[in-house]
Structure 1
Amino acid sequence: MTNRGYDVVVDVDAEGDLGHTDLQEDLEFHSSNFEDPQSRNKIPPDTSSNFLNNGSSSRASSSSKAFLWSVQFYAQFFDVDTSEVIRRCTAAIYPRTNFLDVLEGNPDLYGPFWIATTVVMILFLTGTISWKLAHSGQFHYAYDFRLLSGAAGLIYGYTGIVPIGLWGTLKWFGSESANLLECWALYGYANVIWIPVALISWSPISILNYVFVGVGFGISALFLFRNLYPILSATDVRTSKILLIVVLALHAGLAIAIKILFFAHGSPVGDGKAPEGNKPDRLF
């Protein structure tokens, strides 16, 4: 008797006596796939939605374009919690390892955005306090919100535009290790040192402000140098040196701008004149 298409299950009694097996009661027949041995290892296709086409292959092109305008696309750049942001901020101030290793392949824009926003607000407040102390008793002081817009333009512009320029330059020279999100994260977390610097640089003693800003520049520049050097080294030696000098020069320009524009009562560009209309004379 042949059982093509079936496999036999034999129920053995307690005594192990196969001689008295009742085929009607002890045998069960089940569907078998013996005739199709390849079907044993066949994996059913995954019909779940993928990253771009939302599960519809016929609409892949239109869905990928629309996906750029969806919240889900940008949510992946903010996929961090508070503890992770604090850990990254600590690693930026006290670098014990390469910051790209700290990112663990998940660079975020959440930390850089709020760090830059915090720096802007603190520069506005402490810069206002610094100017007020330098001109105490001369006239009635009125807030100048051009200082706030100037701080936003300086910090957001530097943090947003310089990484794009660096990334584009590295791509131009054929670097495969350049990543725009990682460049944004590096520059964004490098700004965290300016928070304590801005908090203590409102002193009317100009030399102290220069020292505080210089320390902030040194720590943040060392952070950028340490993490960008392996990326810049992917280009030729001459190009990498030029790019490194440009990076440090731009960062030094940021530090000088912070000192002059926000703590400028002792700055060589200050004219020392009383403002018109009982308002402070600002550079913005």
Structure 2
Amino acid sequence: MASTNDPFQFQEFEESNLLAAASESTTISIEDDIMNPKFPTGFAPSGDEDPTAEDDKAELLSGEKKSIPFWTFQYYQQFFDVDTHHVTERIVGSVLPWPGKNFIHVYLRRNPDLYGPFWICTTLVFAMAISGNISTFLVNLGKPNYKYTPEFGKVTIAATAIFSYAWLVPLAMWGFLLWRNNKIMNLVSYSFMEIVCVYGYSLSVYIPAVVLWIFPYEWLRWLSIGVALCLSGSVLIITFWPAVRDDKPRMIAAVMSAIVVLNVLLAVGCKAYFFSKAELVPPPANLSTTAVVLPHTT
């Protein structure tokens, strides 16, 4: 016979006892927790929340973006927020253009940057000025009347030419496309920053070409100019062709010709100015020459 204290012994409970225990238990309501959430100590929401945070949340939820004036620093700061692999991809795309690949549609994706164009133009300025000085020194090396003097003024001239081309030409192109878009509604429109980005990246191919201009071989210089002109001009023509192809034939020819001519003038002008042969320096005026008189013999 089992003992009365056996814990494994089956016990019968009456229904009245179970109902009494259930009535004394605590009832948990999920709806109460949802409607009245309880926060742990230290995490309770305060009544004085930041109103700007609520405005930012509402702005994000509505999908709207604040318009920043173009004369402020914050407006241009967004164009320098770009990853390294994006810049590398755009440089490769500008050096290796492919028919049918619009640079703006494929590489920019409505997110132009000024980081890449700025450093490309700056690198090209110093590369052109330094290479021009080295080329002049190599051409005149060994000449008795030549004295090397560094020409620091070439940096200013190169910067003026490069940055004027990278900013003024896109400004003119943007104004022209905006004017034609008002005339013909179905034309493709590009923003000013997108055009600046295209022109800036199109100059990247000139950096290795300028380095090759150091060697005093005219055939090598003209060959590198031709290759750089073809690659840079192809990027510009492929990019701006969709924007003018529905225009009048006269306008199409004028735009395409202007793109090619301005590109040629930049390359040939820089080559002629920075890499022309230096003239011999005349001897100083304070040096006196002594005439040697030979005896006359009969």
Q: Offset at 1:273?
A: 4.8
Q: Which has the higher contact order (CA 8 A, sep 6+)?
A: 2
How far apart are the structure 2 equivalents of 1:92 and 1:193?
Answer: 8
Q: What's the CA shift string for 1:228-277, capped at 9, x where partnerless?
A: 11122243332122111111111111111121011112xxxx7x353798
Q: Offset at 1:83?
A: 2.0
CA separation of 1:217 and 1:64: change in aligned 2, threshold 3 A? closer
Bigger mean CA offset, 183-192 vs 135-144: 135-144
Q: Offset at 1:47?
A: 3.6
Query: Partner of 1:88: helix, strand, or coil?
Result: helix
Does 2:133 match 1:128?
yes
Matches within 5 A, 1:9-28: none
How far apart are the structure 2 equivalents of 1:29 and 1:121?
Answer: 71
Which residue number corresponds to residue 155 of structure 1?
A: 162
Which residue number corresponds to residue 263 of structure 1?
A: 275
How far apart are the structure 2 equivalents of 1:107 and 1:273?
Answer: 48
Matches within 5 A, 1:264-283: 264-265=276-277, 272-274=279-281
Letter in 2 for 1:163: P
Alpha-carbon contact 1:214-1:255 (below 8 Å) kept: no
The alignment's TM-score, normalised by the length of structure 1, stands at 0.72
Q: What's the CA shift string for 1:18-46, capped at 9, x where partnerless?
A: xxx97x9769696899xxxxxxxxxxxx9
Matches within 5 A, 1:110-259: 110-136=115-141, 137=143, 138-174=145-181, 175=187, 177-259=189-271
Query: Partner of 2:56: helix, strand, or coil?
Result: coil
Does 2:101 match 1:76?
no
Which has the higher Rg, Structure 1 or Structure 2?
2
Query: Partner of 2:189: helix, strand, or coil?
Result: coil
Percent identity (aligned): 30
How far apart are the structure 2 equivalents of 1:218 and 1:237?
Answer: 23
How far apart are the structure 2 equivalents of 1:29 and 1:132?
Answer: 86
How far apart are the structure 2 equivalents of 1:240 and 1:145?
Answer: 41
Alpha-carbon contact 1:201-1:213 (below 8 Å) kept: no
Matches within 5 A, 1:56-95: 68-95=70-97
Q: What's the CA shift string for 1:99-127, capped at 9, x where partnerless?
A: 11111211111100000000000000111
CA separation of 1:170 and 1:274: change in aligned 2, threshold 3 A? same
Q: What's the CA shift string for 1:173-221, capped at 9, x where partnerless?
A: 1245121111001100000001100111112122221111121111111
- How many residue pairs are counted as aligned between the two chains? 232
Alpha-carbon contact 1:177-1:234 (below 8 Å) kept: no
CA separation of 1:28 and 1:166: change in aligned 2, threshold 3 A? closer
Letter in 1 for 2:134: I
Query: Partner of 2:194: helix, strand, or coil?
Result: helix
How far apart are the structure 2 equivalents of 1:185 and 1:262?
Answer: 26
Letter in 1 for 2:117: P
Letter in 2 for 1:112: P
Alpha-carbon contact 2:117-2:200 (below 8 Å) kept: yes
CA separation of 1:216 and 1:29: change in aligned 2, threshold 3 A? closer
The alignment's TM-score, normalised by the length of structure 2, stands at 0.68
Alpha-carbon contact 1:108-1:185 (below 8 Å) kept: yes
How far apart are the structure 1 equivalents of 2:58 and 2:203?
Answer: 33
Which residue number corresponds to residue 102 of structure 2?
A: 98
Over the aligned positions, Cα root-mean-square deviation in angstroms equals: 3.2
How far apart are the structure 2 equivalents of 1:160 and 1:146?
Answer: 21
